[in-house]
Amino acid sequence: MLDKTSSQTQARATGPLAGYRIVEFAGIGPGPFACMLLADMGAEVITLDRIGAKKNMKSVAGRGRKVIELDLKDKAAIAEVLDLLANADALIEGFRPGVMERLGLGPDVVRARNPKLVYGRMTGWGQDGPLAQAAGHDINYISITGALAAIGTKEKPVPPLNLVGDFGGGALYLVVGVLAALLEASKSGQGQVVDAAMCDGAASLMSMFFDLTAMGRWREGRDRNFLDGGAHFYGVYECSCGHFISIGSIEPQFYALLRQRAGLSEDCYNAQMDPKAWPDLKQKLVETFKSKTREDWCQIMEGTDICFAPVLTMSEAPQHPHMAARGVFVERHGVTQPAPAPRFSRTPSNIREPEVVEIGALVEAWKSAR
């Protein structure tokens, strides 16, 4: 693991978004993560947060921000926010539908002063629909898309952390939407509202599985398809040491190498793509992989075309030779965290130090720079 606290975090914005100004209304989950990605890529992200919020500035998702503490119930503060937004490129908020309008900061008001502004809205259910005003969390948003029902054991669905709704279907789709709108605004001179709903994004992530279902290659349920744990050649297995390994030997040539390296010479393994044979073959592999330690299997399989990897914990992952060689994790303020991604050849991303700023001074600085 690389310690880039002194070099990377102190660097000036050099990413591909350097020069873009984004105003973030503080929230939780996907909004802050989306803004972390934008800040890593060089955007100047200004977080508007409640008074006293600077104590949270050194969180991983809050890195790289300039923070302004203010009371959004104060009309004078709202006027200053409008002045700030008049010179911003994008706004990101994650409140329930209607909250920004009640504050006097809805899209119509803000874009009347800055027609080119991209207005990013992050919610779970979306800006409209029967559930738009209901509370919810990641697990609920992915429940109505078909995603949660497809993930887990045969007995019941298992929440995939909050990766599918909050971050995959939420933050990443918000970032894509905001960046697409910024590109379009650079041509048309007009901004627009980006309605990024986690249920929309999670449904979009399921596209391939709706396609496979239509082709007759995917059955509803869990632990019965080739990517959900049903197939013996694509799954997780426990080793004799109590640790786990993963294999994904889908293609025939990769499966053949798995058989060679694991000593799977019996004819029954010829039925790779026969779902009826999978339960028995999976049980055989359970016994096979329990015969050696995770380290033993790494020595036998890692780096080959088997499609193999050890299942590492978050404390183990930074120490893996591949992850360490690429500097996938960095240390900042004593906290191990993922480095910026993706990587750019000419305008590399970096992590910058957060700082508290005064809104009046920033408004004047942005005005003079236009």
3 is catalytic: no
Q: DSSP of 319-363, one letter per residue?
A: GSHHHHHHT-EEEETTEEEEPPSS--SSS-------EE--HHHHH
CB 50 within 8 A of CB 71: yes
Q: Which of 40, 49, 138, 166 is catalytic?
A: 166
* Rounded CA separation 51/225 (Å): 51
* Rounded CA separation 209/1 (Å): 36
Alpha-carbon torsion 225, 228, 233, 238, what sign? negative
Residues forming a β-bridge with 67: 47, 356
User: How many CB atoms within 10 Å of residue 86?
Assistant: 16
Q: Are strands 234-238 and 90-93 parallel, antiparallel or unpaired?
A: unpaired
166 is catalytic: yes
Helices 75-85 & 359-369, crossing angle to 10 degrees?
A: 20
Strand segments, DSSP code E, in 70-206 are 90-93, 118-123, 193-197
Q: DSSP of 42-63, one letter per residue?
A: T-EEEEEE-TTGGGGTTSSTTT
- CA 125 vs. chain centroid, Å, equals 18
DSSP assignment letter at 170: I
CB 340 within 8 A of CB 350: yes
Structure tokens at 101: 């309008």
Catalytically active residues, by annotation = 137, 166
